[in-house]
Amino acid sequence: MSILLPDLSLYIHIPWCKKKCPYCDFHSYQSKNSIPELQYIQSLIQDLKNDIHLINNRSIKSIFIGGGTPNLINYKYIKYLLHNIKNIVSLNSNSEITIEINPDLITIHTIRKYIQLGINRISIGIQSFNNKLLKSIGREHSAETAINILNQIKKKKINFNIDLMYGLPQQTLQECLYDLKTAILMKPNHISWYQLNIEKNTIFYSKKIHLPNENTIWNMYNQGNKLLTQSKYIRYEISSYSQKKYQCQHNLNYWKFQDYIGIGCGAHGKITTKNKNIIRTIKKYKINDYINSNQYIQKKYKILDKNKPLEYFMNIFRLFQPIKRKYFTLYTGLNKCYIKNEINTLIKKKYIVQTKKFWYTLPKGKIFLNNLLEYFIK
């Protein structure tokens, strides 16, 4: 059975933050002392060299520098990192290169330098334009700081994304819509609009924080989605809205079950091999272990056939687009007969519809996506 080698992206994890947000379950450290920048960047470069055999002569479609707070790292080390990456791997001529930033730790001067490096997309963690709400979720910046840097970024004509959250502690519907309206006035190319969920291993989880009730959340979701759509933002994924032709190519790579190399402390990767195996990689979690080693793999395992449908559909069903049925086999190596019973059940329950070439997720399937995915748990 043939399997298609997917497109390939590169994720780079910068694990430090000025302060750990109480809702965040990402792998990160509070930067209490100086950051070992050069050591870490050199480790990232060696980490990528160690993974070069996984590439199979593919070029890199996108690079995403995330965290943590990547702009805590001095610009000169980001320059050094990107210079070395371009010497190690081949980039597509139109590769999307994104860096995440926090509004209180960045200047337009640094952003100008990022652009000169070839970084062509900025993702800004705003979360809210309400100072009271920012304080409630432990963010360090003010609404005024966020608006000021956004106004400066707009003048640079760079592709930029605003991260926003809704369903924050004690947030009202009006406050939620105000955040969206303020973001829309900034005219970003992309808006990522997430509902706050309390995850285990976070400060909020231990404090048992109280969030708005279900009716308020539902109204935020419906009216916010309507506002974004009316403002000409195209919803292409559950939490992602973009202007035409400005979808995030890196995230699309994840959602389409493509491949990605993950380098950095705690970074995850997914690689398809020529012999049809799909491999997950996880890099060392402890920063000292990562820096003081030439071997960076913490865990490496093959996705079992019984788990491939769940892994595939938990990504692809997030997208608001028809799903080509043939890609299931091309990217998993499994025949569609393997999931025939599950697909028939989803059709009967009106979660999806099926044509000769496509699967389409119905509104019920999007709203109850977790229920849908349960049918693929073996």
pLDDT value, residue 18: 86
* 223: nearest Cα among 297, 278, 167: 167
Which amino acid, 353? Answer: V
The pLDDT profile of the chain, 378 residues, written as one tens digit per residue, is 456 689 999 999 999 988 877 777 777 878 777 899 999 999 999 999 999 999 998 999 999 999 989 999 999 999 999 999 999 999 999 999 999 999 998 999 999 999 999 999 999 999 999 999 999 999 999 999 999 999 999 999 899 999 999 999 999 999 999 999 999 999 999 999 999 988 787 777 778 788 899 999 999 999 999 999 999 999 999 999 999 999 999 999 999 999 999 999 999 999 999 888 999 999 999 999 999 988 999 999 999 999 999 999 999 999 999 999 999 999 999 999 999 999 999 999 999 999 999 999 999 999 899 999 999 998
Q: What was the pLDDT predicted at 55?
A: 92
Q: CB within 8 A of 292, min separation 6: which ones?
A: none
Q: Identify residue 309 by its one-letter amino acid code.
A: P
Residue 363 near residue 369 (C-beta atoms within 8 A)? no
User: Strand 60-67 vs strand 8-14: parallel, antiparallel, or unpaired?
Assistant: parallel
Instruction: List C-alpha distances in Å: 145 to 130, 132, 267.
Output: 11, 14, 30
Quote the pLDDT of residue 3: 63
CB of 260 within 8 A of CB of 246?
Answer: no
Cα–Cα distance between 222 and 351 in angstroms, integer?
19
Give the domain ranges of the chain.
8-253, 320-376
Helix (H, G, I), strand (E, B) or coil at 141: coil
How open is the CA angle 255-355-272, to the nearest 5 degrees? 35
Closest CA to 154 of 181, 184, 129: 184
Contact 255, 319 (CB under 8 A): yes
CA atoms of 138 and 9, how far apart (whole Å): 32
The helix or strand, by DSSP H or E, that contains position 310, with its residue range, turns out to be: helix 308-316
Q: Using an 8 Å Cβ cutoff, are 14 and 78 in contact?
A: no
Name the region of 264 (left: φ>0; alpha: ψ -120 to 50; beta: rest): left
Closest Cα to residue 181, out of 156, 162, 155?
A: 162
Which CATH number describes the domain made up of 8-253?
3.80.30.20
pTM of the model as a whole: 0.95
Angle at alpha carbon of residue 192, lines to 75 and 219, rounded to 5°: 150
Question: Which DSSP helix (H) or strand (E) runs through 65?
Answer: strand 60-67
CB burial string 235-246: b at 16+ within 10 A, e below: bbbbebbbbeeb
Amino acid identity, residue 247? Answer: Q
From CA 333, how far away is CA 34, in angstroms rounded? 47
CB 113 within 8 A of CB 156: no
Query: Phi-psi category of 168—alpha, beta or left, where left has phi over 0 and alpha has psi -120 to 50?
Result: beta
Contacts 24+ apart (CB under 8 A), 248-251: 248/96, 248/98, 248/121, 248/161, 248/190, 248/192, 249/61, 249/62, 249/96, 250/9, 250/11, 250/61, 250/62, 250/63, 250/64, 250/96, 250/98
For residues 183, 111, 72, 184, the Cα torsion angle rounded to the nearest 10 degrees is 0
Report how far residue 227's alpha carbon sits from residue 197's, in angstroms, rounded to the nearest whole number. 22
